[in-house]
Amino acid sequence: MKIARKDKVKFGALVNKFRQKMPRDMNPLRKVAAECDMNFSTLNDIEKGDGFPTEAVVLRLSENLLLSEKDKHGLLDKYSDIAKVAPPDIDRYLIAEDGKAWWDVLRLAEGKDIPPDTFKEIKKIITALEDKKDEPTEQPEY
């Protein structure tokens, strides 16, 4: 995969920005690199734009930089845009047993002119499922 230098620099700056937002005692380059199971020079190269992470590395970064869900998705989406691959978290989900149920749905959707409102409705349905999961279940009275 050939990644343009300017894209490596943009991605590295984003990783650096997120690392610097971490609490001071948790953000040293060596400490974050160790948490992500990599050499500190590898993380340094990524942040300077001299290197670009693999999918496995960017997943570990997204899990160890103490990111909000929005920032985590932003980092993974930026990686996806640059590398021209599906976001690694989506990719990982789709190959897991639970994710395989989506394969036929995605194949059916391919090439169809699906209006944006349809995706909004699908998101509402999934959000409602999440909301129900968080609701306390009624306990039987004895």
Class of domain 5-101: mainly alpha
What pLDDT, in 10s, does the model give residues 57-82? 999 999 999 999 999 999 999 999 99
Whole-model pTM: value is 0.81
pLDDT band at 27 (very low <50, low <70, confident <90, very high): confident
33 CB contacts (<8 Å, ≥6 apart)?
A: 39, 40, 42, 43, 44
| Of 21, 47, 23, 50, nearest in space to 33 by CA | 47
What pLDDT, in 10s, does the model give residues 33-54? 999 999 999 999 999 999 999 9
CB 79 within 8 A of CB 53: yes
pLDDT band at 95 (very low <50, low <70, confident <90, very high): very high
